[in-house]
Amino acid sequence: MTNEAQQTLGATAQTTPETGNPAGNPADNPEAQVEKMFEYGYRKSNYGPDELVTDAHGNPISVVDAMLTAEKAAEAETVTPHLCYYSPRIPGNTGSAIRLCAVTGTILHLVEPLGFNLRDTKLRRAGLDYHDMAHVVLHPNFENLVESMPNSRIIAFTAHATKLYTEIEYKPTDILLFGPEPGNIPDPMDIMAGPHVAEQVRLPMRPSLRSLNLTNCASIAIYEAWRQLNFAGGR
């Protein structure tokens, strides 16, 4: 073997300090590619079961530590109404809602029971990271939401309403309430039409078509409310 060939072989056999795998073309190193995916915004492969991404210093953060308390949410000054998902069932929808709330300055209230674990990978892949979680509140039941936000008007979005969502004059203290995604469980009309609800509104749709995606509906509602409030805090 020539000296040149020996040098080439030696370079190929070198390993990366992070993984101990052969260095070189990433396409030739699938394990390194997988590790790269987990650098930020996704769980690293060696994280514990109760850990979420990292803080600015690279330290793992628990889900609970990253969330708002109900008391803090009630005290917060917002530029858009609050958004509430009652008993959501699909993690990707809630993940998208968390990102929606992060970019609009909205606080998202999730009312248990949830149809998924907050550590679900589909939820995180929909846009969840530490900074986004700072806009989320978890309530053990609907009564806890009502009691913690006594000065807020609850506006329920339901197909049973006759008033359109554009007929409401929104305030930053409002709570826009959405029920669970369609499924085998009946819609909770005691929640969506109870005495705590100030208004019921709907989004218009063509007849014979079933429904919009939950977070698509929430996005339309939040941006209409924010538009009415002159996109305060945005650019």
Q: Where is the binding site, in residues? A: 179, 203, 211
Quick one: pLDDT at residue 58? 63
Where is pLDDT greater, at 99 or 16? 99
pTM of the model: 0.73
For the stretch 165-180, pLDDT in tens is: 999 999 999 999 999 8
For the stretch 3-42, pLDDT in tens is: 544 444 444 444 444 444 445 555 566 555 544 444 433 4
Q: Does domain 67-228 have CATH number 3.40.50.1100?
A: no
Largest CA distance in the chain: 86
- Kind of pairing between the strands at 51-54 and 60-62: antiparallel
CB 220 within 8 A of CB 78: no
Report which of 164, 165, 202, 178 is spatially closest to residue 82, judged by C-alpha positions.
Answer: 178
Report which of 37, 4, 33 is spatially closest to residue 16, judged by C-alpha positions.
Answer: 33
Query: Which two tokens mark 227?
Result: 């538009």
Long-range CB pairs of 207-215 (<8 Å, 24+ gap) are 210/182, 211/159, 211/182, 213/93, 214/85, 214/88, 214/90, 214/93, 214/97, 214/178, 214/181, 215/93, 215/94, 215/96, 215/97, 215/100
Domain ranges of the chain: 26-61, 67-228
Q: Where is the binding site for S-adenosyl-L-methionine, in residues? A: 179, 203, 211
Quick one: pLDDT at residue 160? 86
Where is pLDDT greater, at 121 or 71? 71
